[in-house]
Structure 1
Amino acid sequence: MTSPETGPAPSEAAPQSPEESPAEAPAPERPAPAATVTGPGRSRRGEPRTYDFRRPTKLSREHVRVLQIAQEGFARQATTILTTFLRAGARMELVGIEQFSYDDYLATLPNPVFITTFTLEPLAGKGLLAYPLDMAMAIVDHMLGGSGRAQQPNRPMTAMESSITNHLLGRLLDEFAASFASITEIQPAFNGIEYNPQLAQAASGSDTVMVASFAMAVGAREGEATLVLPFSSFAQALNNAASPQLSETALAKRKRAAEALTERLNLVPVDVSVRFSPLSVSSADLLSLAVGDVLLLRHPPDAPLEVTTNDVTFAYAIASNHRRRLAAAIVPTPYAAAKDTA
């Protein structure tokens, strides 16, 4: 959505006619607001966000809160590791957590960019960590004793540069696993490095991914780093972590309520019927019934009656009487009925 262009302000206010007062001047037309959603991270006023109704938001506020705690912990540990390894000022700070389709996320990345993918054993899927290529080259420069201030080459890393970077990435993945231990136990393992976003096959194009954005700084260089995780792999773990933990008092109260409910269920009155075997008749016969007609029940004279509730047969009985009242005496289930049930 683009805002309408505005021309330069006039140097003089247009004179008003006596017939037209300021209250009667027509209000300028405003464009209708577009349907927008704000990401669960830092709010950005005035920036509309695209919302695809075919892919509804799956990240709830509870999920974001749990992820935010874990990602902030990872950012703090990553800052410590970068500062220690590079012996220079470094910083990683969580900016926000958003939901994307994987294709939409790849469209936000420049080309080339430094991308590393990693597995999430025992969970399915892969994760992805991306940050600017010049920052990745500056990190190697720092680790080799340089200042990192020189112009960095815009090319893929050599085998030596990749080996040096992999050592740092291994430490970052260890801290990532430790930060997510409160959500689920994972053992991330380095998978590979890519520089073209379209070649980073971490997920299918339509898969929903969770993207955590970080403000990253190494020395005088600043950029944005993103950590991408598949939503489907973490969905159950997020639901478990987001559910509130009940105290012992709350658990005892819930147990007493369940016991009271079970006790009261035993006192609920239930309508019970004793009937002959159901009979099927045609609509014509049913409509032609008249006083004096006889319906053949086809119930064997030696067969017990059915004891039912809500059209479910749960026992059998024979007609009897008790203190001058008609009664039904419960009898064992007939063999044929027991065989049909089995």
Structure 2
Amino acid sequence: MAVDDGALASARETPEVERYDFGRSTTLSREHTRMLEVAFETFSRQWGSRLSARVHSRAHASLEQLSLLTYDDYARTLPTTTTMVVYALPESDERIVIQIPLSLAIEWIMQMLGGRVDASPDERPLTPIEQALVRGLMGDGGDALTTALDGLLPAGISISSIQHSPLFAQVAGPNDLVIVARLSLRSSGSTSDVTVMLPASVVLDAFAVGGAEAADEAAPGLVRSHIERTPIELALRLAPRPVLPREILDLAVGDLLTFPHSADRPLELTVDGVPIAAAAVGASGARLACVITATTPDSDSPEEQQ
């Protein structure tokens, strides 16, 4: 029998272990990660459709990766010169960034003006007129992002500036946590890497508020569920009779006690001494049972309170 040494070696390979960064212990929960993935997949589809209509060329975007980084780590992954469209949040100092390659921004400008892209244009800072065209184009991207994230971002975000240097753009503090979505954007026959940066504080606060509201809405149901699963004792009793302590102390075997309960009157089914129904004595096989003949109306019901 021949043994494949390569197969044995691959079987012995140690699985890749991701190092835990104790300096940045905050992480996204699996539930929140999945919600953001779905939101960015929706954003990718909507943004691709809007780009196709504006630049007169088929555009398709797809989510590749979602991660939680510091802004400094995020900025170091970007090209030295790029196009960072910075969005301002209403009544907040936090900023959102959609970053696209500078060459791709110039291609879009040429296509919007009716030109043809025969080769990759030289990367250079955008002129004021070109920046105005990019602002008009990327406004749709901000609208699509707000819609796709569905309440995680406040309505009314607007473009505040366009930056070209990630290391010098004052978008966030170096150690501020940001959520980064990396997209693959296919446009004009080429594929480019695009990133979307969200301030983690804004998104996590929105998750916390949403979770608190969901918990408040679920609280009555949880209380009812706990009550329904709590064991209680049922008792079937005759009409009570007041007695003197002397009668109880003098009880002996064979004594006969009478109760003011007629033979044809139903017994009371009680929970912790509170009547909840009337019942007649019956049998279930070899065991005694009771047959419910009437239920006791809720004394606290609105009709009775009125």
Letter in 2 for 1:255: V
- Which residue pairs with 2:199 in the alignment? 230
Give the direction of change, closer, same or farther, for the CA distance of 1:171–1:35 in structure 2 (3 Å limit): same
Letter in 1 for 2:70: S
Alpha-carbon distance between aligned partners in 1 of 2:120 and 2:223, rounded to the nearest angstrom: 67
Does 2:21 align with 1:52?
yes
**2:40 alignment partner, SS class:** helix
Alpha-carbon distance between aligned partners in 2 of 1:240 and 1:62, rounded to the nearest angstrom: 15
Q: Which runs of 5+ in 2 are unaligned?
A: 233-306
Does 2:182 align with 1:213?
yes
Letter in 2 for 1:74: F
Matching residue within 149, 168, 185 for 2:118: 149
Checking the alignment, whether the CA contact within 8 Å between 1:66 and 1:241 is kept in structure 2 is no
What's the CA shift for 1:245? 5.2
Alpha-carbon distance between aligned partners in 1 of 2:147 and 2:195, rounded to the nearest angstrom: 18
- Which residue pairs with 1:195 in the alignment? 164
Does 2:79 align with 1:110?
yes
Letter in 2 for 1:254: L
Q: Percent identity?
A: 27
Q: TM-score, normalization: structure 1? A: 0.58
- Which residue pairs with 1:37 in the alignment? 18
Alpha-carbon distance between aligned partners in 2 of 1:148 and 1:131, rounded to the nearest angstrom: 17
Does 2:96 align with 1:121?
no
Q: Which runs of 5+ in 1 are unaligned?
A: 1-21, 39-50, 265-342
- Which residue pairs with 2:248 in the alignment? none
Q: TM-score, normalization: structure 2? A: 0.64
Richer in helix (by share): 2
Give the direction of change, closer, same or farther, for the CA distance of 1:252–1:198 in structure 2 (3 Å limit): closer
Does 2:82 align with 1:91?
no
Does 2:61 align with 1:61?
no
Note the aligned Cα RMSD (angstroms): 3.2
Alpha-carbon distance between aligned partners in 1 of 2:198 and 2:84, rounded to the nearest angstrom: 13
Matching residue within 100, 104, 124 for 2:69: 100
Give the direction of change, closer, same or farther, for the CA distance of 1:65–1:122 in structure 2 (3 Å limit): farther
Checking the alignment, whether the CA contact within 8 Å between 2:152 and 2:202 is kept in structure 1 is no
Q: Deviations over 1:6-27 (max 9, x none)?
A: xxxxxxxxxxxxxxxx9xxxx9
- Which residue pairs with 1:176 in the alignment? 145
Alpha-carbon distance between aligned partners in 1 of 2:47 and 2:14, rounded to the nearest angstrom: 40
Checking the alignment, whether the CA contact within 8 Å between 1:141 and 1:148 is kept in structure 2 is yes
What's the CA shift for 1:108? 0.6
**2:22 alignment partner, SS class:** coil
Count of residue correspondences = 222
Matching residue within 224, 235, 241 for 1:256: 224
